Amino acid sequence: MGYKVVVAGATGNVGREMLNILAEREFPVDELAVLASRRSLGTEVSFGDKTLTTQDIDTFDFSGWDMALFAIGSDATKKYAPIAAKAGCVVIDNSSLYRYDPDVPLIVPEVNADAIHGYSKKNIIANPNCSTAQMVVALKPLHDRAKIKRVVVSTYQSVSGSGKEAMDELWDQTKAVYNPTSEIKPKVYTKEIAFNVIPHIDVFLEDGSTKEEWKMVAETKKIVDPAIKVTATCVRVPVFVGHSEAINLEFEDFLDEDEARDILREAPGIMVIDKREDGGYVTPKECVGDFATFISRIRQDSTVENGLNLWCVSDNLRKGAALNAVQIAEVLGREVLKKG
């Protein structure tokens, strides 16, 4: 016996990836409903070797469905998530709406799967921000060994984190560079993204940080440890898929780089590729389509006491969004619903 599963936002980048991963991981699905807004109503999407037609989220009855994976943005989630939850369908939400709600668990299964049992307060579970998800997978096993005091992270985030229109904008602007008669003005971003980097993701806050940077701070504290100090600089780069992060860690206790490498090799969800030679590291292009979070460039930082540097790369549409949501669904099924 399997689960009755809903995917809301099934025509978007993340929604389609959720369907791909549900099929790839052979999630025990008895029945699957794919939902979209009326604008995308009737669009066909793939689930394994099946083709499904989207239904109208406005008129869909969530009663009798076990879980719903939401990839519809905060505004729509605010409307539909309470409806689904009230009907007894557990919502796994990919938006930022519920991440900071104390009554909603924020989960990365490799890090804090035990938090799943807090879902019942609102029948909602939150998926973290893509840049946070891959980072905390790397932080947790190291924190368990030597206790992290401070994190300094600089991100190199792909345009797919902003959706399909952003990917189109990068593609069109890149082509326009080679065609002197074409000029594609920025629409999604504040400046041209082709052959450029933009140190601005989400809105600016009063302290000068951006909301993306604030998210990394708040979510790391909620998922790993509220005592960890985090400072982030988040940058959009002209890469289609795959987020990269340069992470500097300061520990309470000394942690040798060789031991850190061994710890990460044994940690769930991580692949260490760290050779001190040309190409002995992973770039975002190489991580696309993979489930793992890749760690490279592990080395001591002698400028602080008990310091370590590392390079972290992951497919943001997978670990940063769709994969993490499906992994949450797996934990929910295994630990709570126990049907599959």
Choose the catalytic residue: 130, 234, 287, 312. 130
Choose the catalytic residue: 89, 243, 287, 312. 243
- Would you give the distance in Å from CA 80 to the centre of its chain? 21
Q: Residue 132: which of 160, 159, 151, 115 has the closest Cα?
A: 151
Q: What's the rounded Cα separation, in Å, for the pair 95 and 75?
A: 9
Instruction: Collapse the DSSP code of 327 into the 3-class scheme (helix H, G, I; strand E, B; otherwise coil) and give the result.
Output: helix
Establish whether 234 is a catalytic residue. no
Q: Residue 109: which of 273, 324, 275, 333 has the closest Cα?
A: 324
Q: What's the rounded Cα separation, in Å, for the pair 221 and 227?
A: 7
Burial class of 51 by CB neighbour count within 10 A (0 to 12, 13 to 18, 19+): exposed
- Would you give the distance in Å from CA 122 to the centre of its chain? 22
- Known binding residue 40? Answer is yes
- Would you give the distance in Å from CA 167 to the centre of its chain? 17
Establish whether 243 is a catalytic residue. yes
Q: What's the rounded Cα separation, in Å, for the pair 200 and 284?
A: 20
- Known binding residue 99? Answer is yes
- Known binding residue 9? Answer is no
Q: Residue 119: which of 145, 143, 84 has the closest Cα?
A: 84
Q: What's the rounded Cα separation, in Å, for the pair 268 and 335?
A: 18
- Would you give the distance in Å from CA 18 to the centre of its chain? 12
- Paired with 68 in beta bridges are 6, 91
- Known binding residue 320? Answer is no
Q: What's the rounded Cα separation, in Å, for the pair 173 and 179?
A: 10
- Known binding residue 161? Answer is yes
- Known binding residue 316? Answer is yes
- Known binding residue 12? Answer is yes
- Known binding residue 160? Answer is yes
* Sequence ranges of the binding site for phosphate: 99
* Sequence ranges of the binding site for NADP(+): 11-14, 39-40, 160-161, 316
* Sequence ranges of the binding site for substrate: 157, 236
Could you give the residue numbers annotated as active site? Answer: 130, 243
